Structure formats: structure tokens, C-alpha cells
Amino acid sequence: MVNETIKAEVKNLNFYYGDMHALTNINLSVAEKKVTALIGPSGCGKTTYLRCFNRMHDLYPHNKYTGEIMLHPDNINIISPNVDPIEVRMRISMVFQKPNPFPKSIFENVAYGLRVRGTSNRSLLSETVEKSLRGAALWDEVRDRLDKPAFDLSGGQQQRLCIARALATEPEILLFDEPTSALDPIATSKIEDLISELKKEVTILIVTHNMQQAARIADYTAFMYLGELIEFGDTDTIFVNPHNKLTEEYITGRFG
């Protein structure tokens, strides 16, 4: 993390689902315009951690955060109750495991975030939709059928549409929760290329169960286990010479 600009600084983050202590004292900085991968066995807290970044947990009662996620450069704690979760989600977008387009046209899917914000200017919407679809490497495939239902697209295209939808609000951080686990290798490869392209503009946090994917696309990798951050480092070190025995056992497939 030497010579990196820090986009988000997580300090002593704890998270509780009611009585269940799901994340314990996480301290982890996220480098700006880099890809940080979160790996670890199912139930280790990766997705819980990711969801803290856009306040997804606020949707359910009894969930509780302590600690801080400081978003830079403005230095605001995005998990503070004083910060509006809707505003956080405009700045930090999320793409999920399975493509989840809205039952609307391709155009309206991408325009949705802006419409929620109150934008109705047709030319501004069109401009943003095109820019976002280009950013998600989908424009050439859909430019002549923007009014068609999003569900007409293939799985890989739907996922790129979701990425375009996430890009439309010009987020500073993009969260990916296993974005390719429902896709075939060709669609996966397109999304991976896209992530490498997107990091020129956006900071990316990705949860993945695919070790090779983390190795291919991430600049930094964090290994989590039982709600704790076990090891964090540059991806080369984690995959060639991890320092922690648990990390080594997990990535070499000898865990448990």
C-alpha cells in the first residue's frame, strides 16, 4: 500500500446481525483506482463486509455497525447514522452474484439511478445511458434495441447491463459480489477485462470464490475467516508467498 492514495479507510469495523457478531475489528484500507479482492470460505464475512460499504444492512432491523468506514477525500464516515444511505449508494454502487435487471427496457435500467435522483432531461439521460453502456462494454451489442426488455439479453449481457446501471450514477467505488459465478468462461472473461478497464476510473472491491479470478484481476487481496481479516497484502504475495498459515491452507485448497 506504499504510494497508494487511500479511497476508504476501515477502522475497527464490527458488525452484528442482532446478537450474532459477524465482523470483528476489521482494519483495512482500500486503495483508490485499484482492485481489492476479498477471499475466504463461505460464511467468513466477505459479503457482510462488502455490504457495509453501501449500507445494505440498513434495510433490516437489529443490524448494528460499530467503528468507521472513512470515505476519502471528504473524510466522512459512511456507516454513521447521520449519513444518508441513499447518498452513500449513489457514490458506492453494487453488482450482485446473479444479474438482476429491472423488468424494464435496457434504456430504463441504466437511466434508473438518475431518474431516482430526479433527472428527467431526455438528452442528459440518453447521454449518460450511452456513456454507461460504453463503459460496461455493452453499447455495441444493444445500441439498436435500447427499448427492448432487459430480460431479452443473455446472462453475460445482463450482468454488463447491471454494471452499466451501477456506472450511471458515476460512483467512486464499485462493489462486486461474485459477479461471474453465474456466467460461462467467455462472459466471465469479458467481465474480468471490464473490471481491469474500469479501475482506471473507479475503485473496485470484489468478493470472489474463484482464486484464479482474484489472482488475475486484483491488485490487493484480503483473506477473511470467521469474521476476521486474517491477511491482507498485494495479490502476488498472497498467492506466491502468503505469511499466514490459514491463508496458505485456504488458497492451496487444504482448508479444514
Partner 1 sequence: MAIFDDELKELREMVLKLGCMVENAIRDSVKALVDRESELAKEVIKRDHVINALDVKIDEECVRLIALRQPKARDLRLITTTMKITTDLERMGDMAVNIAERAIELNEEPQLKPFVNIPKMAEIAQVMVRDALDAFITGCSRLPYEVIKRDDEVDDLTVRNFEELLSLMLQDPKIIPLAIKRTYIAKYLERIADHATNIAEMIIYMCKGKMIRHTEISEEI
What is the pattern of x (binds partner 1, CB under 8 A) and - over residues 164-203? ----------------------------------------
* Region binding partner 1 by CB under 8 A among candidate stretches 41-49, 117-125, 132-140, 248-256: 248-256
Q: Which of 137, 211, 226, 246 binds partner 1 (CB under 8 A)?
A: 211
- State the Cα torsion 177-233-74-166 to the nearest 10°: -20
Q: Can residue 40 be called a binding residue for partner 1 (CB under 8 A)? A: no
Separation CA 241–CA 106 (nearest Å): 45
Measured CA angle at 131 (ends 134, 208), to 5 deg: 55
Residue 240 lies near partner 1 (rule: CB under 8 A)? yes
Count residues binding partner 1 (CB under 8 A): 13
Task: Match 482464486 to its residue by C-alpha cell.
Answer: 211
Residues 68, 123 contacting (CB under 8 angstroms): no
Q: Write down the residue that cell numbers 446472462 correspond to.
A: 155
φ/ψ of 216, rounded to 5, equals -75, -45
Smallest distance, Å, CB 8 to partner 1? Answer: 27
**What are the CA-CA distances from residue 9 to residues 72, 118, 209 (Å)?**
8, 31, 24
Cell of 93: 454502487
Which of residues 83 and 246 has its CB atom nearest to partner 1 in the complex? 246
- Closest CB 159 distance from partner 1, rounded Å: 24
- The distance of closest approach from Cβ of residue 251 to partner 1 in the complex, given in angstroms and rounded to an integer, is 5
CB of 238 to partner 1, least distance (A): 8
Query: 473524510: which residue's cell?
Result: 75
Residues lying near partner 1 in the complex (CB under 8 A) are found at 211-212, 215, 239-242, 247-248, 251-254
